[in-house]
Each structure stands twice: as structure tokens, then as C-alpha cells.
């Protein structure tokens, strides 16, 4: 399976107990939605290997304790510590993960709905429920909300993000 077809959700942090449970750390706040997962894909030697979830318990907003099928002892679990884990695109939709987070958009041109060039993305700022684009313009840096309802299109080939920017938003910065 290709990593391009999957969403990097986090990494396997450390073992918990002797029955093969693993503490996983998320790159994003998935909190309560995480219990909807049935499986994850672990990066093993640069290949994605599917594992079914027997049990998952929320620990903090960014960590959970997971028990995977086939990993029944600490020694087996240790082999996977430090590995990244992924979910399918379908699973990312169930978890309602913002699509902008799944790609590196640094350097993309930002264009408004009228085809005006706004600037270039310097950084994606991952703030829960309020993601932002830090954009370099001719007049300095500005922050623009990266909400799904404002994104018209993300063109990876042209490295452009077309946004529906409400009137006056650029004047606030």
C-alpha cells in the first residue's frame, strides 16, 4: 500500500503493561472521534501493514492506549515503538480531519476567488478548530483562516490554493 493513499495520523510512543498495549500519539487532536477507528496501518520497513484494533482508550487529547490484534505481549509491541501509523483517506473523513493538514502546502501560491495573487504560504498553523495559513504578501505576513468552507481548490500540480476570501479579511491583518 502506498503512503500517498493514506493519512499520517501519528506515531507509536511506548508500550503500556505486558499484554501488548501501546500508547499512540496523534499529530492532530482526534480525541473522541478516535474510538470510531477499526484499524490502522503501521509503517514497517517503509511498507504500510494493516492492524485491526481490539480496543482503544483515550488517554489525553493527543494520546490513546491501543490494543492491536496479533500483538499480545510487550516484546512484540516493542518492535513497533517509534513507527508512524496511518489511516486510509476514508477513515480520515470519518474522523473529520481537515484535508489541508494532510499535505505540505509550504510554498504554495494563495489566490483569491477573483484570481488575484495574495502571496505565498510560509506555514500552516494547526490550531484546533481554527487552522491558519501564514502567508507572505508584498506588504508583509498575514494570517488567513484555512477553513474548509473558504477553500475553493488546492491544486498540487500548480502548487496553488484558491480561497474564497470574505471582503475586508485581508485588511484586518
3-class SS of residue 75 = helix
With contact defined as beta carbons under 8 Å apart, do 121 and 135 qualify? Answer: yes
Alpha helix stretches (DSSP H) within 65-139: 74-78, 89-94
Q: Are residues 83 and 12 in the same domain?
A: yes
**168 beta partners:** none
**137 beta partners:** 140
Q: Are residues 133 and 108 in the same domain?
A: yes
Q: Are residues 85 and 166 in the same domain?
A: no
In which residue are the cell numbers 505481549 written? 73
Query: Taking all residues of the chain, what is their mean pLDDT, rounded to a whole number?
Result: 83
Q: Are residues 58 and 19 in the same domain?
A: yes
Query: Residue 142 CB: number of other CB atoms within 10 A?
Result: 19
pLDDT at residue number 42: 92
- Its domain, for residue 140, covers 102-172
Q: Are residues 15 and 75 in the same domain?
A: yes
pLDDT at residue number 169: 74
Q: Are residues 112 and 45 in the same domain?
A: no
Q: Are residues 111 and 93 in the same domain?
A: no
Q: Are residues 93 and 156 in the same domain?
A: no
Regarding pTM above 0.75, the answer is no
How many domains are contained in the chain? 2
**Interatomic CA distance for residues 7 and 11, integer angstroms:** 12
Q: Are residues 147 and 63 in the same domain?
A: no
Sequence-separated (6 or more) residues with CB below 8 Å from residue 78: 15
Q: Are residues 26 and 110 in the same domain?
A: no
Q: Are residues 86 and 152 in the same domain?
A: no
pLDDT at residue number 170: 74
> Where is the domain boundary, 38, 63, 97?
97
Q: What is the pLDDT of residues 9-67, one digit of tens each?
A: 888 999 998 899 999 888 766 656 677 778 899 998 888 999 999 998 887 767 889 99
> Does the pLDDT value for residue 157 go beyond 60?
yes
Question: Per 3-state DSSP, what percentage of the chain is helix, strand, and coil (rounded to 5)?
Answer: 20, 45, 35
Amino acid at each position: 500500500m502506498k503512503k500517498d493513499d493514506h493519512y499520517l495520523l501519528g506515531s507509536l510512543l511506548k508500550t503500556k503493561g505486558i499484554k501488548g498495549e501501546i500508547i499512540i500519539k496523534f499529530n492532530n487532536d482526534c480525541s473522541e472521534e478516535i474510538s470510531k477507528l477499526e484499524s490502522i496501518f503501521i509503517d514497517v520497513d517503509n511498507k504500510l501493514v494493516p492492524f485491526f484494533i481490539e480496543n482503544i482508550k483515550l488517554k489525553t487529547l493527543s494520546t490513546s492506549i491501543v490494543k492491536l490484534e496479533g500483538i499480545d505481549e510487550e516484546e512484540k509491541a516493542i518492535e513497533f515503538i517509534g513507527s508512524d501509523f496511518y489511516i486510509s483517506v476514508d477513515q480520515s473523513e470519518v474522523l473529520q480531519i481537515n484535508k489541508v493538514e494532510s499535505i505540505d502546502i509550504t510554498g504554495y501560491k494563495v489566490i483569491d476567488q477573483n484570481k488575484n495573487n495574495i502571496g505565498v504560504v510560509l506555514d500552516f498553523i494547526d490550531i484546533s478548530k481554527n487552522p491558519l495559513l501564514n502567508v507572505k504578501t508584498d506588504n508583509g505576513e498575514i494570517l488567513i483562516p484555512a477553513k474548509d468552507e473558504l477553500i475553493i481548490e488546492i491544486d498540487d500540480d500548480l502548487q496553488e490554493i484558491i480561497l474564497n476570501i470574505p471582503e475586508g479579511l485581508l485588511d484586518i491583518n
